[in-house]
Amino acid sequence: MKTRDRILQTSLQLFNQSGERAISTNHIAAELAISPGNLYYHFRNKADIVYELFLAYQQQVDYYLAAPGSQPLVLADLAWYLEAVFDGLWQYRFFHRDLESLLDADPRLRAGYGDFTGRCLSAINGIFNQLASGGIITPRSEPLRSAMALNVWLVITNWMAYLKTAHATEEPAVLSLAELKQGIYQVLTLELPHVTPEYREPVLALRETYRPGTFCQAAHQSK
Amino acid sequence: MKTRDRILQTSLQLFNQSGERAISTNHIAAELAISPGNLYYHFRNKADIVYELFLAYQQQVDYYLAAPGSQPLVLADLAWYLEAVFDGLWQYRFFHRDLESLLDADPRLRAGYGDFTGRCLSAINGIFNQLASGGIITPRSEPLRSAMALNVWLVITNWMAYLKTAHATEEPAVLSLAELKQGIYQVLTLELPHVTPEYREPVLALRETYRPGTFCQAAHQSK
DNA sequence: GACTCACTAGAGTATATACTCTAATAATGA
DNA sequence: TCATTATTAGAGTATATACTCTAGTGAGTC
């Protein structure tokens, strides 16, 4: 593996573990057993590493959240979307911790992240739309759908911080992918009132899969 | 005003402005035109300042979110609660930015914040309960009410980060209390499906008050 | 064999950070 | 009055951080 890629990989791992704030370029170099000079040969500065990680994050989420087109969605699709988003969130989980400082340090990142959020929101909106076509949720007016999509986004992106700050007993807080995915329970709680009567039972059953305390993560695959 | 209080006040102001990460004890001392030694005479370390600010934050929110007792609530009460919570959030807005690092730096804060969140969640839960008594929202089972309360909390505590990261055009992002309170629009969107038919119109009207883009903030006072 | 060039080591720099120490001054109370 | 205590200034320390600079090394090419 090329040094440049190893730097990205190790940075991501250390950032996820301890937060970007706590990890210096010297830490990264030390972990890789390379010299700081070597690291700075491959990256102009720390912000460039973060930015490149953002691009990878963005690419992954964009790919999985690709517009569902115009075909109606079935329930398994909903589960699949949720799993995919939480997977992405998990892999780049350092990112949503003090995002504000990251954006303050890099205007490219600020602009890129603004666009990224916009695409995510309209993707969620589109998914709502196609879930309505599939008869799973009742159709809503556009402004309401947008506000709902934003709420979903707010719950998704804040769920991890909640777990690591309000719930954690350990010091520092550690987290597993399974715990993170309990956030899906919260998202489905959010959508529940909008589910059509005939789909209420199946959605409740799906939701139950992610109930906090339940540590069986069934594989929800489709598509 | 006593130096100790001036340190707290200025720290809060600078933290809110630029984030705790970017503000050193030397910055605080410089802003106050006192010596670093003087600052450290009043506070053992930076974490102690943060902790004391947390105690004030906690006290304020606890006060305003005090259990609504057992009397039913009217719509104005709901508006009042939302305004109060967002006011508290605004006044100590540095806090929910990289909260994780703050908790990592101080075990007292971690423990205190865990309890605090618990109290907030059960307060929200209780408010739901009394809104149901007041005929404003339809009664729900306890587990559903808890999950709803958590979603409300997640939206509230993440709304500011959303504004400052996804929406901001300036660099660094600045924010006004009025913009922040547009988060109430999101919270009411969340509660809308649970509102009883007879209260749907009034709640929609209240919600409209906070619609993003609308910059008139009517004073919602009661109690 | 000389030359190039991507890559690497490692010492070093300027600056910032959290925090300490000593000595001086102001307030207080007997 | 005078001693005690609270408060302050200001220089200083140890450490960390992001980043730079120079001097290579080794694999390939003509």
Are residues B101 and A158, on separate chains, in Cβ contact within 8 Å?
no
Which pLDDT does position A11 carry in this prediction? 98
Return per-residue pLDDT of chain A as tens, 223 residues.
Answer: 899 999 999 999 999 999 999 999 999 999 999 999 999 999 999 999 999 999 999 999 999 998 677 788 999 999 999 999 999 999 999 999 999 999 999 999 999 999 999 999 999 999 999 999 999 999 999 999 999 999 999 999 999 999 999 977 767 777 889 889 999 999 999 999 999 999 999 999 999 999 987 544 344 443 3
Average confidence (pLDDT) over B136-140? 97
DSSP assignment of chain A equals --HHHHHHHHHHHHHHHH-GGG--HHHHHHHHT--HHHHHHH-SSHHHHHHHHHHHHHHHHHHHT---TTS---HHHHHHHHHHHHHHHHHTTTTTSSHHHHHHT-HHHHHHHHHHHHHHHHHHHHHHHHHHHTTSB----HHHHHHHHHHHHHHHHHHHHHIIIII--SSS----HHHHTTHHHHHHHHHGGGB-HHHHHHHHHHHHHT-TT----------
- A223, B105, B172, B179 from B17: Cα distances, Å: 46, 21, 10, 16
User: What is the architecture of the domain spanning A50-209?
Assistant: Orthogonal Bundle (1.10)
Start-to-end CA distance of chain B, whole Å, equals 32
Question: Which residues of A have a CB under 8 Å from any CB of B?
Answer: 19, 21-22, 97-101, 103-104, 107, 110, 113-114, 117-118, 144, 147-148, 150-151, 153-155, 157-159, 161-162, 164-168, 171-173, 185-186, 189-190, 192-194
- pLDDT of B108 above 80: yes
Residue B137, helix vs strand vs coil:
strand
- pLDDT of B206 above 60: yes
Q: Using CB atoms, pick whichever of A118, A147, A164 lies closest to residue B186.
A: A147
- pLDDT of B217 above 50: no
Q: Which of A141-145, A168-172, B40-44, B127-131 has the lowest mean pLDDT?
A: A168-172
Average confidence (pLDDT) over B127-132? 95
Q: For residue B70, what pLDDT band results from cuts at 50, 70 and 90? A: confident
The fold adopted by the segment(s) A1-43 is Arc Repressor Mutant, subunit A (1.10.10)
Domain boundaries, chain A: 1-43, 50-209
DSSP assignment of B60-80 equals HHHHHT---TTS---HHHHHH
d(CA A2, CA A83): 31
Tally A–B CB contacts below 8 A: 138
Contacts of B114 in chain A (CB under 8 A): 165-168
Average confidence (pLDDT) over B189-199? 97
Both tokens of A204, joined, read 């409740």
Q: Residue B136 CA to nucleotide C23 C1', Å?
A: 67
Both tokens of A63, joined, read 């790919």
Are residues B148 and A189, on separate chains, in Cβ contact within 8 Å?
yes
- pLDDT of B33 above 60: yes
d(CA B88, CA B120): 12
Which pLDDT does position A222 carry in this prediction? 38
The fold adopted by the segment(s) B49-209 is Tetracycline Repressor; domain 2 (1.10.357)
Indicate the average pLDDT of chain B: 92
Q: Using one digit for the tens of pLDDT, what is the confidence trace for B1-24? A: 899 999 999 999 999 999 999 999
The distance of A2 to chain B (nearest Cα, Å) reads 32
Residue of B151, B175, B184 to mutate for A, most A C-beta atoms under 10 A = B151
Are residues A98 and B98, on separate chains, in Cβ contact within 8 Å?
yes
Same topology, domains B1-43 and B49-209? Answer is: no
Q: Which of A110-114, A124-128, B176-180, B191-195 has the lowest mean pLDDT?
A: B176-180
- pLDDT of B100 above 80: yes
* Residue A36 Cβ < 7 Å to strand D: yes
* Residue A18 Cβ < 7 Å to strand D: no
